[in-house]
Structure 1
């Protein structure tokens, strides 16, 4: 049996770093954000459709993320139209990933909006990456083009971190040391791999 672990966390919580830890531990990881970048990158499959919906947001290098963000961040209807285009394509890629790795005991699907878009219903367990609010803000505001107002708008679109932690099977801390985070990841891998073995034996 394969156990599917949903990995999520709010912006700036360190989810990408944690996903790499799972990869280094030998666990296949499906990266939803990376898939979106492929779909929106040079010669991406969704470029023409995005340009049709939001003229002037793409060029030969793919989607201009700043322009597309300006087009949808303040407009919920526009954001919904974009999501209706992107989410089905990402879901097809996720299913293909699961088929490729159906012989593994554990796989991870790294999905930022796992709670917000219902992806939690399609996983066997959930791990939330979390840090203190001030650490999150410090990380995000160090990024080019970010400011407190933009961070506030992004936070408003995401399930609050306390609620995510309350709904998680595992909480992975990133506000302390890298060793603590790595140890938590190793513990999760060991726990779920053993669970997969027990399920297979009982089947």
Structure 2
């Protein structure tokens, strides 16, 4: 039997860095974004269905995120079609991870955990949190997106205050040392409860 900890938060809150801290302390980590990358790569399960509905988005046998962004920029209502293709495939990937993991505690890094209902599959949920100012500074420092794109993604997500209220644990990610202490405390709590 394994323990499933959902890890969520908004863009720029420190989910990936926090997931790596859990991994450092002997937890398995499944990352929804990495699963999507696998599905979009050459031979990935999402390539053919995306080719069918978004023909211009497939280049050289893999899904071009840039081309997909252009298509969605023109007609954002198409996001529902894309999600209907990708979400079931991501669920299959997650199930495969659950069936094959060797770790007792497993962290599921899922940005849209509550929005997709994946929280119902978890034993507990942790939400990463940082102030709006720091969040925006982190996003801007990536220099990979325009403001309108950032806003569209954030608008699609549940407000962080709401996610925090629904979570069993809130991890403040202002600095790495304190974040790691919080991660260790959560692991200890899970181990204590799990072995009880």
The TM-score range, normalised by the shorter chain, is: over 0.9
Are the equivalent residues in 2 in contact too, given 1:106–1:196 (CA < 8 A)?
Answer: no
C-alpha distance in structure 1 between counterparts of 2:191 and 2:104, whole Å: 6
Match of 1:142, SS state, is helix
| Worse-matched range after superposition: 16-25 or 1-10 | 1-10
C-alpha distance in structure 2 between counterparts of 1:123 and 1:73, whole Å: 33
C-alpha distance in structure 2 between counterparts of 1:119 and 1:60, whole Å: 32
Give runs of ≥4 in structure 1 deviating > 4 Å. Answer: none
Cα distance, 1:71 vs. partner? 1.9
Which of 185, 194, 197 is the equivalent residue of 2:195?
197
Partner of 2:2: 2
Which of 171, 177, 182 is the equivalent residue of 2:180?
182
C-alpha distance in structure 2 between counterparts of 1:197 and 1:56, whole Å: 52
Partner of 1:110: 109
Are the equivalent residues in 2 in contact too, given 1:105–1:197 (CA < 8 A)?
Answer: no
Partner of 2:127: 128
Partner of 1:201: none
Cα distance, 1:72 vs. partner? 2.5
Cα distance, 1:73 vs. partner? 5.0
Partner of 1:94: 94
C-alpha distance in structure 1 between counterparts of 2:61 and 2:128, whole Å: 32
1:170 paired with 2:177, answer: no
Instruction: With the length of structure 2 as denominator, give the TM-score of the two structures.
Output: 0.93
How big is each residue's C-alpha offset from its partner over 1:15-69, in whole Å with a ceiling of 9 and x where there is no partner? 1111111111000111111111001012322112212211211212622212212
Cα distance, 1:127 vs. partner? 0.3
Which stretches in structure 1 are left out of the alignment for 5+ residues? 199-203
Which stretches in structure 2 are left out of the alignment for 5+ residues? none
Partner of 1:46: 46
Match of 1:56, SS state, is helix
